[in-house]
């Protein structure tokens, strides 16, 4: 570090003398992921000058993926110990090279923070051609990711040729039609189009070799015992009831699962033998997630097996299932990976766990001495929405913006340094229920996969989202893919009732209230009344450029005022903070994962606001989101209080919330006009979810947005 400062200082002093004008700071190269150490050197290297390129084996480099680079005008030196290091040095050189073949002079010393840097792709809900799979692998390798988790079997389609079982190709690879729109749209509608396909073994061998050349290991996933309806459509004798089934045409978790008979194990072992032969990597993923136990409970065979094996219940039966497969894979020199449900009923000896339902599964597994790959929905599900723009393509739900991915830390604080060694790394998951084509795969995966690539490769101490965004803004246009460009959108922020706009490109911005004349943005704009505001960036010719920002403001007495909560919302659903409750913007009517809705779990919601001076109020309004499939219920009751001193509160009355089926329910309390400065709200939660419903017996969530107070 000392040398960087010395060089830069000497350089700037000299320039100041010579030119007596500011010297541009040497721009950090737009590398993603950014190397562990770099040191700029004045000068540049032009490929057209024919620099010497030296590849040097350096046994002193500790990490097999590590490398060093020295770039000088006449010479580029690449130091590495293993071929992977040489490959990553090459990726860095490619990113450093400008379109006209110029590289900045610098020294780099680099190695990854985590050994597992992965991306997943579901090719079952929608099927993508081999050429695209190769492009996806290229994109991973370019950003120094080294595992591709290929999700090959599902309820809606079986996508890997298994020569011993031709009905997997003839039947399980095809569904008669596909759900149109979102699963929560009622009634369900279908497109009537036969859909499917599979990869031949020859294609798979070709892809595996392609990945190997790029230092990407492929982990095939063969789901069991749940998510197997396509397999059962082809071989119904492997279910507990033996009844005919169809390949699933809609999304979800299905009751029809594999029955743990000897016939099933023989079938799966034969399938796995072919899979092992195709994929030389150390890991085979066997799913293990979301396996309903209803049919096992009803099956005399399963109940008998539970007794015979001395098992406690169906969870232990699943554990018995996974253990047998684990033993089989171990005998064949492979390691089993499963989703965190494989912890239930006892984890088998050699299993590696992918923690997806949060991080608790990963913590437990690491504490028990098992290896773990982190993929929590909260930070790693790239099928979630990435922007609050109403123009986003339909997605499964949730909200996972780039910044949240970037700030993910895979090692939970709960772990000791010894336990933390079991966290191999993390992975981004791309489930494709709502991703019909390759352009949309690119859109959902990028740039979030780049944030993940950096957090997994670069040192934790160098983490800096603002710096990442600066590099990303320069790097993204070089990627020839359909990446999401929200990074360049107009951003907004409310300071009280003042609206501030900004954009990362520092382009001029225009805004317009309702049908009024457009105005050039020159500083904070006060929001004085209910209004529809549009804002856009203008390019050099003054033409609108990029995505339009649209905001509908509803002003009221508490608009822009500070709100405090007694208990904070759940960390996963408090993105907009308390300000979201008084910013005049209403949460999206179809999705609760945006920055406006706040979600509390298992707690009553108590809020207070200070109107700064006493204000006459006649009504209070609150909006609640409801989605019972996602455990989100309307509350039981809302009570409003007022106070003159912010300490002693008087009730103004309460209202029982009508339990309608509306997705968004507005609750209104009206009362004789009351003048007061301080106001308080108590929302009584629904409580436990009733029997027969999704999540029965668990606490329900309550989601609310704007707290409106009006005269
Ligand atoms: C999963 O998302 N069901 C692993």
Residue 289 CA to ligand 1 center (angstroms) comes to: 6
Ligand 1 shell residues, CB under 6 Å: 289-290, 339, 356
Q: Are residues 325 and 220 in the same domain?
A: yes
Please give the structure tokens belonging to residue 658. Answer: 């009508």
Q: Are residues 244 and 124 in the same domain?
A: yes
Tell me whether residue 482 is in a domain: no
pLDDT in tens, 324-359: 999 999 999 999 999 999 999 889 888 999 999 999
Q: Are residues 79 and 127 in the same domain?
A: no
Q: Which of 457, 480, 513 is the last residue of a domain?
A: 457
Spatial distance between the Cα atoms of 58 and 78, rounded to a whole number of angstroms: 9
- Ligand 1: residue whose CA is nearest its atom 3: 289
pLDDT in tens, 624-669: 999 888 899 999 999 999 999 999 999 999 999 999 989 999 999 9
Tell me whether residue 609 is in a domain: yes
Structural domain for 589, as ranges:
563-710
Residue 569 CA to ligand 1 center (angstroms) comes to: 25
pLDDT in tens, 187-214: 899 999 999 999 999 999 999 999 999 9
The answer to whether residue 12 scores a pLDDT higher than 50 is no
- CA dihedral sign of residues 456, 458, 461, 465: negative
Tell me whether residue 224 is in a domain: yes
Q: Are residues 127 and 21 in the same domain?
A: no
Write the DSSP string, 579-602: GGGSSS-PPPSS-S-SSS-EEEES
Residue 136 CA to ligand 1 center (angstroms) comes to: 21
Return phi, psi of residue 250, to 5°. Answer: -130, 175
- Kindly report the pTM of this predicted structure: 0.88
Tell me whether residue 558 is in a domain: no
Q: Are residues 312 and 449 in the same domain?
A: yes
pLDDT in tens, 476-517: 999 999 999 999 999 999 999 999 999 988 899 999 999 999
Spatial distance between the Cα atoms of 243 and 233, rounded to a whole number of angstroms: 9
Q: What is the pLDDT of residue 497?
A: 93
Residue 288 CA to ligand 1 center (angstroms) comes to: 9
Average predicted confidence (pLDDT) for the chain: 94
Q: What is the pLDDT of residue 10?
A: 34
Ligand 1 atom with the smallest distance to the CA of 377 is 2
The Cβ of residue 238 has, within 10 Å, a number of other Cβ atoms equal to 24
Q: Are residues 19 and 125 in the same domain?
A: no
Tell me whether residue 469 is in a domain: no
Q: What is the Cα gyration radius of the chain?
A: 29
Q: What average pLDDT does range 137-141 have in this prediction?
A: 98
Q: Which of 110, 144, 171 is the last residue of a domain?
A: 110
The answer to whether residue 11 scores a pLDDT higher than 60 is no
Using alpha carbons only, what angle is made at residue 228 by residues 223 and 229, rounded to the nearest 5 degrees?
160
The answer to whether residue 251 scores a pLDDT higher than 80 is yes
Q: What is the CATH number of the domain that holds 137?
A: 3.20.20.80
Please give the structure tokens belonging to residue 149. Answer: 């988790």
Question: pLDDT tier at 224 (50, 70, 90 boundaries)?
Answer: very high
Q: What end-to-end distance do the CA atoms of the chain give, in Å?
A: 62
Tell me whether residue 207 is in a domain: yes
Q: Are residues 313 and 167 in the same domain?
A: yes
Q: Are residues 643 and 582 in the same domain?
A: yes
What torsion, rounded to 10 degrees, do the Cα atoms 543, 549, 555, 559 define?
-120
Q: Which of 80, 110, 140 is the last residue of a domain?
A: 110
For the chain, how many structural domains are there in total?
4
Q: Are residues 168 and 267 in the same domain?
A: yes
Q: Are residues 265 and 343 in the same domain?
A: yes
The answer to whether residue 25 scores a pLDDT higher than 70 is no
The answer to whether residue 522 scores a pLDDT higher than 60 is yes
In the numeric block, the tokens 């950003």 are attached to 143
The Cβ of residue 56 has, within 10 Å, a number of other Cβ atoms equal to 11
Residue 300 CA to ligand 1 center (angstroms) comes to: 29
Percent of the chain residues past pLDDT 70, beyond the cut? 96
Tell me whether residue 481 is in a domain: no
pLDDT in tens, 73-98: 999 999 999 999 999 999 999 999 99
Question: Within its chain, how far is the Cα of 31 from the centroid?
Answer: 22
The answer to whether residue 576 scores a pLDDT higher than 90 is no
Q: What is the CATH number of the domain that holds 29?
A: 3.30.379.10
Helix ranges restricted to H, 386-531 = 402-406, 417-420, 438-445, 448-457, 465-475
Q: What is the CATH number of the domain that holds 535?
A: 2.60.40
- Ligand 1: residue whose CA is nearest its atom 2: 356
Q: Are residues 416 and 511 in the same domain?
A: no
Low-confidence winner among 25-29, 112-116, 204-208, 517-521 (lowest mean pLDDT): 25-29
Q: What is the CATH number of the domain that holds 638?
A: 2.60.120.1190
CA atoms within 13 A on the CB side of 137: 25
Q: Are residues 154 and 271 in the same domain?
A: yes
Q: What average pLDDT does range 413-428 have in this prediction?
A: 98
Question: What 8-state DSSP symbol labels residue 266?
Answer: H
Low-confidence winner among 12-16, 51-55, 187-191, 476-480 (lowest mean pLDDT): 12-16
Tell me whether residue 22 is in a domain: yes
The answer to whether residue 601 scores a pLDDT higher than 50 is yes
Spatial distance between the Cα atoms of 527 and 450, rounded to a whole number of angstroms: 37
Q: What is the pLDDT of residue 708?
A: 97
Q: What is the pLDDT of residue 26?
A: 65
């Amino acid at each position: 570090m000392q040398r960087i400062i010395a060089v830069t200082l000497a350089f700037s002093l000299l320039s100041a003398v010579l030119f007596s004008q500011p010297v541009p700071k040497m721009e950090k190269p737009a590398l993603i992921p950014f190397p562990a150490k770099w040191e700029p050197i004045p000068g540049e290297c032009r490929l057209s000058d024919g620099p010497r390129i030296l590849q040097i084996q350096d046994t002193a480099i500790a990490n097999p993926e590590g490398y060093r680079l020295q770039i000088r005008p006449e010479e580029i030196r690449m130091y590495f110990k293993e071929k992977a290091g040489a490959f990553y040095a090459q990726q860095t050189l490619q990113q450093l090279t400008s379109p006209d073949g110029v590289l900045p002079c610098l020294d780099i010393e680099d190695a990854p923070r985590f050994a597992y840097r992965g991306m997943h792709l579901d090719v079952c809900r929608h099927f993508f051609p081999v050429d695209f799979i190769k492009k996806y692998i290229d994109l991973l390798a370019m950003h120094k990711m080294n595992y591709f988790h290929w999700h090959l079997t599902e309820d809606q389609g079986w996508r890997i040729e298994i020569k011993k079982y031709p009905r997997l190709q003839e039947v399980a690879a095809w569904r008669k039609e596909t759900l149109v729109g979102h699963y929560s749209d009622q009634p369900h509608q279908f497109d009537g189009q036969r859909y499917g396909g599979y990869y031949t073994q020859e294609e798979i061998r070709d892809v595996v070799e392609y990945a190997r050349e790029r230092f990407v290991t492929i982990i095939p996933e063969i789901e069991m015992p749940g998510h197997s309806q396509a397999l059962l459509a082809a071989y119904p004798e492997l279910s507990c009831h033996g009844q005919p089934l169809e390949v699933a045409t809609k999304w979800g978790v299905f009751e029809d699962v594999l029955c743990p008979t000897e016939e099933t194990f023989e079938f799966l072992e034969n399938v796995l033998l072919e899979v092992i032969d195709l994929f030389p990597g150390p890991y085979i993923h066997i799913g293990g997630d979301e396996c309903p136990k209803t049919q096992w409970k009803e099956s005399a065979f399963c109940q008998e097996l539970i007794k015979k094996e001395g098992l406690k219940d169906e969870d232990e039966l699943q554990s018995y299932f996974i253990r047998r497969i684990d033993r089989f894979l171990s005998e064949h020199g492979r390691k089993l990976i499963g989703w965190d449900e494989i912890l239930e009923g006892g984890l088998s000896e050699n299993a590696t766990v992918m923690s997806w339902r949060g991080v608790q599964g990963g913590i437990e597994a690491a504490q028990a001495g098992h290896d773990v790959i982190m993929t929590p929905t909260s930070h790693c599900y790239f099928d979630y929405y990435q922007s609050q723009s109403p123009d986003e393509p339909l997605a499964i739900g949730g909200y996972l913006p780039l910044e949240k991915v970037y700030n993910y830390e895979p090692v939970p604080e709960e772990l000791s340094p010894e336990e933390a060694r079991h966290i191999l790394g993390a992975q981004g998951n791309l489930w494709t229920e709502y991703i019909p084509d390759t352009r949309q795969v690119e859109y959902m995966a990028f740039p979030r996969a780049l944030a993940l690539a950096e957090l997994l490769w670069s040192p934790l101490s160098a983490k800096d989202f603002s710096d990442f965004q600066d590099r990303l803004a320069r790097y993204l246009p070089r990627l020839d893919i359909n990446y999401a460009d929200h990074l360049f959108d107009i951003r907004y922020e409310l300071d009280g009732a003042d609206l501030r706009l900004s954009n990362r490109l520092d382009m001029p911005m225009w805004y317009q209230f309702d049908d009024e004349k457009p105005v050039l943005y020159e500083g904070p704009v006060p929001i004085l009344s209910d209004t529809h505001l549009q804002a856009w960036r203008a390019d050099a010719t003054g033409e609108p450029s990029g995505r339009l920002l649209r905001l509908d403001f509803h002003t009221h007495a508490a608009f822009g005022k500070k709100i405090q909560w007694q208990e904070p919302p759940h960390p996963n659903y408090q993105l907009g903070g308390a300000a979201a409750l008084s910013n005049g913007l209403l949460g999206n009517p179809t999705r609760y994962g945006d920055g406006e809705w706040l979600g509390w779990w298992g707690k009553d919601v108590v809020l207070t606001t200070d109107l700064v001076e006493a204000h006459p109020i006649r009504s209070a309004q609150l909006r609640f989101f409801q989605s019972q499939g996602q455990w989100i219920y309307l509350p039981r009751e809302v009570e409003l209080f007022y106070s003159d001193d912010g300490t002693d509160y008087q009730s103004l009355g309460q209202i029982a919330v009508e339990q309608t089926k509306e997705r968004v329910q507005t609750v209104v309390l009206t009362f004789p006009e009351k003048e007061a400065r301080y106001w308080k709200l108590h929302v009584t939660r629904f409580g436990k979810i009733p029997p027969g419903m999704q999540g029965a017996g668990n606490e329900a969530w309550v989601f609310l947005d704007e707290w409106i107070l009006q005269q």
